[in-house]
Structure formats: C-alpha cells, structure tokens
Amino acid sequence: MSKTETEGALETRGIEQVPDQERTARTRELFPTWVGANISVLLLTMGASLVVAYHLNLWQALVVAVAAPIVSYGLVGLIGIAGKRGGAPGMALSRAVFGQRGNLLPGSLIWVARWGWETINAVTGAYAMLSVLDILFGVRANSVLDMVMLLAFVVATFAISGLGINAVQKCNKYATYLFGVFSVLVLVYLVVDTDWARVFDRPAGSVAAVITGVGLIAAGGVSWIPSAPDFTRYLPRTASAKGIVGVTVGGAGIVVLPMVLMGVVMAVSTPDLASAADPVSFLGEILPTWIAVPYLLIALIGMLLINSMSMYSAGFTAQTLGIKVPRHWAVSVNAVISLVFGGVLMLVATSFMGSFIAFLSLLAVAFSAWVGVFGADMLRRKEYDGRAMADTGRTSAYWYRGGFSPAAVAAWAVGLVAGLMFSTSDWFTGPLAANNVIGEYGLGWVATVVISGLLYLVLPKPAVVAPAEQAEPAEVPGQAGRTAPQESVTV
C-alpha cells in the first residue's frame, strides 16, 4: 500500500483507482480481514436457530456450517478478484458494468441495505456492553442506558472506519488472535459441561431444512460480496486469483464453523436462545463469569470491526452516488443512520432474532441482483479504465446510452423483482414463494443471482472498454507494448 495514502493515521484515498506502484499488499493479509468480518455472537444465535427452528441434529448442522461459508465467501473471493484487476472499490468498478448513471440504481439500494446491516451490528454491540455491565456490576438495562451504549458503540465504529483500511486491518489482526484464544476456552468449557447424550440423541431434520439452513447462514456472507473489491484493491495485478478465493473462504470458515456449532450445542441447554429479544445476554447464563465477560468483550470488538468494515465500504458507495465529501465524512452519514435505526430497534422490537432473520433474507436479495450482473460481467472483462470510472460525464467511456448500460440495468431489475417474488420472511412473502422449491428452501437470493446473471449474459452488451493508457503491470507477459485481450475469462 502507499506510504502516503494508507500508512498514516488517516487514509485519504477515495474511490479513485490505486496506481500500480502503490499496490503492494499481500493476499494473506485478507485472512484476518475475513476472520474479523465474522466475529459475531449472531452466529451463535443463528446456530441455535438450526436446532430450535429447523430441527436439525448436530451432524446436519455440521454440514450447514461447512457448506454455507464455502458458498457465500467463495462468491466474496471471486468478486474480490475484480479489485486486484481494477484497483478500485466495488461500487466504483460497477460503473464500468452499469454505466455512470445506471450504477446509481444498484448503488442506492446497496447503500440503503447497509443501513440495516449496520443497525443490526450496532444493536448487537450495544447489547454486549449492557451484558458486561449486568454481569460485573449488576446494572440493569433501561431505555436511557440502551441509548448511551448504542451511541458509544456507533462513535467507536465511526472512529475506526473513518481512519481507513490500515486501521481496520490492524484491528482485525489483533482481534483474530484474541478471538482464537477465547473461542478455545469456550469450546473446552462446552466439551466438559455439555450433556452430550442430549446433543447426539436429537432426531434428524428434513433435507429441506438443511438446505434452508445453508441459505440462512450463507445470506450473511452474501452481504459482503459487493464490498469484496474494497479490500483487494491494493493487491498487485499479479496476485493469485485462487489465493484470493482460498484465503477469503478460509478466514470466514475458521470462524463460522465453530461459532455455528457452539450455537447448536448451547441451544440444547437454552432452547429459547434462538427467539430471545436480546441475542447476547444468554452468554452470561451459559458460561461462567471468568469466560463470559472476556468473551463478550471479544464479541464487542468483533461487532465493532464488522460495522467498521461495513461503514468503510458504505463511504465508498456514498461517494459513487455523487456525495461530494471525503470518504471519512461519507462514513458519518451511515453512522448517524445506524444510531437512529438502532434506537428504534432496541426500544420497539420484541424479537431480535426474528427481525434479524427477516431482514437478512431480504438483504441478501438486494445485494444478489448486483452480484449476478457484476459476476457475469467479470467473465468478459479483465481490466477497468480508471479514467472512465472517474469521468462521470458524457465523455466517459462508461457513459454507454445516456449514462446507462441497458443490458446490465435490465438484468439487475428483472433479477431483483424475480428474487423478491420467490422470497419469504416474517415481513414479506412474494407471490411465487409458496409451493415451489425456491420458496420452500428460502433461496430467493440464489434465484436472484442466477436470473440476473444469465439474463445479462444473453442480452446484447456494450463492447468492453480497454483503458486509455495501459499500465505496465497489466501487459501480457511476453507481449511488451501490447494490451491484454479485451475478451478473456480469467476468474
């Protein structure tokens, strides 16, 4: 990374393309990034849901916990390849696909969807702080204290995400070590204290429930897909595509697998875990204080990092929408919104987990329409024109027809509507969600990816635009002075 742009206290680079000489990051640095993105007690409650709501046994839950991160973070890694190709955040690269004006449509929806994701994380972090106060000092939560803890969490999140990627990655690195140590302690305690006969004697659930469980856990990972290039844009063009995918899946999987299984085991002794209004305080009931308090603090750090990463990306999205402020100030918009929405959720919601799962199912659909189109476009586009991305006027090579790429916008819109029609949740049930495999398994987001991607592939598209001035690292080996082929597949 650039000494001037990323190693100081504040990252000043916005959505512009990172010059090749400054792209010195290493693929292995992605590992703690995706570990940090999953240090969340919500995975425990989601694991409990597999037992309580979907009636799965331990072995079926193991299948879910292995398959879900492979599916979702495999897609995160694949889309992350675009970051090393283009050296820019995901929603800036998206201008090459949708057109300068067309990109405002998915960009706006993704930005709004992030408000909800950051609200959920902020509320969970506030609950973690409230639980620590209750366990250590016997301080009971009330409306005023709820809002104070929420404010403290949002301010801390804004401070980390506002500093930039260097601060986020350093925090992720140390949080990974702490999480690993205390997760081992929790695992050891559960192994010793759990009534394993009750765990293993649970009957198996249906195959449909297993598939639904995979979709549920994977939906959380899907929300990170548009952000993937934000964390790979400092990688050199020569970075291994397989390495990006492997490290991404490995970093997420090493957290998702044990957290989901711990939730499954905890649900045996605390069956109301999946429906609790507070998704955090149960840890004080299940674990001894000497484990519960440090683990809650680690969970708090994890939620801070998750929200910091989300707000970091949201700042870029806001800039691509034309908000003319520096990235760190663009982050503040999402901070204020998550504070307001978080207050409403803490004061009004009666079932946190029910609200979360309903939100997650619709969030995944909102992101998946973009994923299908952008992913399909990666099959034909190997590089991105930094000048064209930065030029938002009619002179841009990515202006296409009136600022829109008709194929991309049409495929995105059709995929989004179709996905919602196949989706079901406590808040919304699409007209096609009943009596079909997709609706039964809660795979509306999968239908969205497939429909939008296939439709984009078959529709006539603008020609791939080669960069106006080709940077040296992007030249094809052995062909000095020539640019890389415009139509190539190297995902």
Span 428-445, mean pLDDT? Answer: 70
Q: Domain of 354: which CATH number?
A: 1.10.4160.10
Question: Six-digit token pair at 317?
Answer: 């999205």
Question: Six-digit token pair at 128?
Answer: 């973690």
| Mean pLDDT comparison of 281-295, 316-330, 436-450, 477-491, highest-scoring range | 281-295
Span 252-267, mean pLDDT? Answer: 91
Q: What is the pLDDT of residue 75?
A: 96
pTM, full prediction:
0.85
Is position 22 within any domain? no
Span 105-116, mean pLDDT? Answer: 87
Q: Give the pLDDT band (50/70/90) at residue 471.
A: very low
CB 1 within 8 A of CB 25: yes
Question: Six-digit token pair at 206?
Answer: 């249906």
Q: What is the pLDDT of residue 477?
A: 36
Span 17-23, mean pLDDT? Answer: 92
Query: Which of 302, 435, 432 lies closest to 34 in space, CA to CA?
Result: 302
Span 130-137, mean pLDDT? Answer: 88
Span 240-248, mean pLDDT? Answer: 97
Q: How far apart are CA 40 and CA 375, in angstroms?
A: 28
Tally the domains of the chain: 1
Is position 479 within any domain? no
Q: Give the pLDDT band (50/70/90) at residue 482.
A: very low
Phi-psi region of 482 (alpha: psi -120 to 50; beta: other; left: phi over 0): beta
Q: How far apart are CA 424 and CA 176, in angstroms?
A: 35
Q: How far apart are CA 350 and CA 72, in angstroms?
A: 29
Give exposure, 254-276, as e/b (b: 16+ Cβ within 10 Å).
Answer: bbbbbbbbbbbbbbbbbeebbbb
Q: What is the pLDDT of residue 18?
A: 93
If 0-12 CB within 10 Å is exposed, 13-18 middle and 19+ buried, where does residue 246 land? middle
pLDDT at residue 274 greater than cutoff 70: no
pLDDT at residue 449 greater than cutoff 90: yes
Is position 37 within any domain? yes
Question: Six-digit token pair at 181?
Answer: 């140590």
Q: Which amino acid is at 121?
A: N
Is position 468 within any domain? no
Is position 162 within any domain? yes
pLDDT at residue 342 greater than cutoff 70: yes
Question: Six-digit token pair at 101?
Answer: 């004006």
Write out the residue range of the structural domain in which residue 111 sits.
29-358
Is position 282 within any domain? yes
If 0-12 CB within 10 Å is exposed, 13-18 middle and 19+ buried, where does residue 394 land? exposed
Q: Give the pLDDT band (50/70/90) at residue 119.
A: confident
Q: What is the pLDDT of residue 88?
A: 95
